[in-house]
Structure 1
Amino acid sequence: MDKKQDQTFDIIEVCLLAGKIMLRGGAETYRVEDTMMRIAAAYGIYHSHSYVTPTGIIFSIDSHHPTKLVRIVDRSTNLQKVAKVNSVSRLISSGDLTVKEALEQLKEIERDALAYPTWVQIAAASISSGCFLIMFQGDWTDFLPALLTGGIGFSCLIYFHQLVEIKFFAEFLASLIIGLISVLFVVFNIGTELDKIIIGSVMPLVPGLLITNAVRDLMAGHLVSGISKGAEAFLTAFAIGAGVAIVFSF
């Protein structure tokens, strides 16, 4: 009986760890809940219940075992971790992983950074800023200013986020610096269209994944998660717009 109970606790641990990694990596709420219940069903627990919000996971299997709660403090975008957890979930569903093996693999996924180096992220933000400028029908003469402005702005975002844990404050300061640098480029006749440079440069800061997940959660019937993610996306967009608006006001 004790061995069976220990096995049940390990299954709960596997479900919670998989949900935690996915939620912190930017997965949709309904996908997290579905993955947790599928893992539990694959191990013989067919009556599990999961309730997921952007800041926490509640998981229960029946009245004989305690309900578990996991608090989610920080969230980012790491879709590679989400994909790896999905791969582990498929192996569990096909019966190729034991509970212990699944738990070890999930712990390894949680430990691994699985993120691109900072310089690669900055380079990608720079190139995408220039490409967004062209996409919004900007002039090719503004490609280099947008590339530099976007790279500097994204660097500032990473730096300020390390100094202050408040995400919206970092985004506000980054957009403020983007606006100032864009103005300087135009003043010194290096750039021509101020609005296109700013629009292209702030695009790497725009919360596209948040907006997408908010809509998908709302369509799936997860109203609490959808509204909360939508509110977070709105605050992020407001912080970006406020930073640029302050530059224009002066």
Structure 2
Amino acid sequence: MDKMVEQTYEIMEVCLLAGKIMLQSGGETYRVEDTMMRIAASFGIEKSHSYVTPTGIIFSAEGSEPTKTKLIRISERSTDLKKVAMVNSISRSISSGELDLNAALNELKNLEDLNVTFPMKYQAAAASIASGCFMIMFNGGWNDFIPAMISGGAGYISFIAFHRFVPIKFFSEFLASFVIGLISLLFVRIGLGHKLDTIIIGSVMTLVPGLLVTNAIRDLMAGHLVSGLSKGAEAFLTAFAIGAGIAFVLSFLK
């Protein structure tokens, strides 16, 4: 009996670790819950329940013994869809019988410690190019492409740097948007930029919480009201921080 209880807790640990990685990496709430329940069913726990919010996961497993429940706290969240895809791949391997319990736990622990993000220089380069392309999409001129690239790249680097020193997301986004507005205004003042509005709009697009908005809508449509509303509120605060940083520049320095 003790061995069965121990195995149940090990299964729960695998399920919670998979859910934790997915939630921290930007996975949708319903996807996290579905993956955890599928993993539990693959290891013989047919009756399991999960309750997922952006800041925590509650998972319970029913059996012959009293229901066992565990809770984990989620404090850090980012966007890393590659990790979400890798957890899905591990889940499919578990469902097909290719991974046993210990192997699955080791795979997930290795994935949790794995850094699959691109180096900072590649992220900054992608943000710069994306800023220039967004500026063109918003009917900007090609003569503003380079200023938009520079301001967008500088804003993204500022966001990463500020977030490392002050781990408050909204404060970092406010400062990053302030840097974007300041550099864009400087380009226009010295004559290298022409349309201030399109340069700023293109540059801040790398900070816009697109994934948060998408996940909030998908969670609401799936019936996860708490997660949907909380993610929507987080997206609203992020948008407010970005707008406040730009408004500060335009109000006091223009």
Question: Smaller-chain TM-score range?
Answer: over 0.9
Q: Which amino acid aligns with 1:126?
A: S
The corresponding residue for 2:130 is 128
The corresponding residue for 2:21 is 21
1:158 aligns with 2:150: no
Q: CA deviation at 1:190?
A: 0.2
The corresponding residue for 1:37 is 37
Q: Which amino acid aligns with 1:179?
A: G
Q: What SS does the corresponding residue of 2:59 show, helix, strand or coil?
A: strand
Q: CA deviation at 1:217?
A: 0.1
User: Which of 227, 247, 250 is the aligned partner of 1:248?
Assistant: 250
TM-score, reference length from structure 2: 0.97
- The share of aligned pairs that are identical, in percent, is 67
Q: CA deviation at 1:145?
A: 0.2
Pairs within 5 Å for 1:64-103: 64-103=66-105
1:108-156 Cα distance to aligned partner (Å, 9 max, x none): 0001011111111111000000000111110000000000000100010
Q: What SS does the corresponding residue of 1:205 show, helix, strand or coil?
A: coil
Q: Which amino acid aligns with 2:242?
A: I
Q: Which amino acid aligns with 2:30?
A: Y
1:2-40 Cα distance to aligned partner (Å, 9 max, x none): 222221111000000000000000000000000000000
Pairs within 5 Å for 1:210-229: 210-229=212-231
Dislocated runs of 4+, deviation >4 Å: none
The corresponding residue for 1:188 is 190
Q: CA deviation at 1:66?
A: 3.0
Q: Which amino acid aligns with 1:166?
A: I
Whole-angstrom distance in 2 between the partners of 1:38 and 1:239: 39
The corresponding residue for 1:171 is 173
Q: CA deviation at 1:67?
A: 1.0
Q: CA deviation at 1:43?
A: 0.8
Whole-angstrom distance in 1 between the partners of 2:6 and 2:97: 19
C-alpha RMSD of matched pairs (Å): 0.8
Q: Which amino acid aligns with 2:10?
A: D
Q: CA deviation at 1:65?
A: 4.2
Q: What SS does the corresponding residue of 1:50 show, helix, strand or coil?
A: strand
Whole-angstrom distance in 1 between the partners of 2:104 and 2:67: 21
Q: Which amino acid aligns with 1:37?
A: M
Whole-angstrom distance in 1 between the partners of 2:103 and 2:5: 18
Q: Which amino acid aligns with 1:56?
A: G
Whole-angstrom distance in 2 between the partners of 1:46 and 1:209: 32
Gaps of 5+ in 1: none
The corresponding residue for 1:54 is 54
Q: Which amino acid aligns with 2:184?
A: S
Q: What SS does the corresponding residue of 2:200 show, helix, strand or coil?
A: helix
Q: How many residues align?
A: 250
Gaps of 5+ in 2: none
Q: CA deviation at 1:49?
A: 0.4
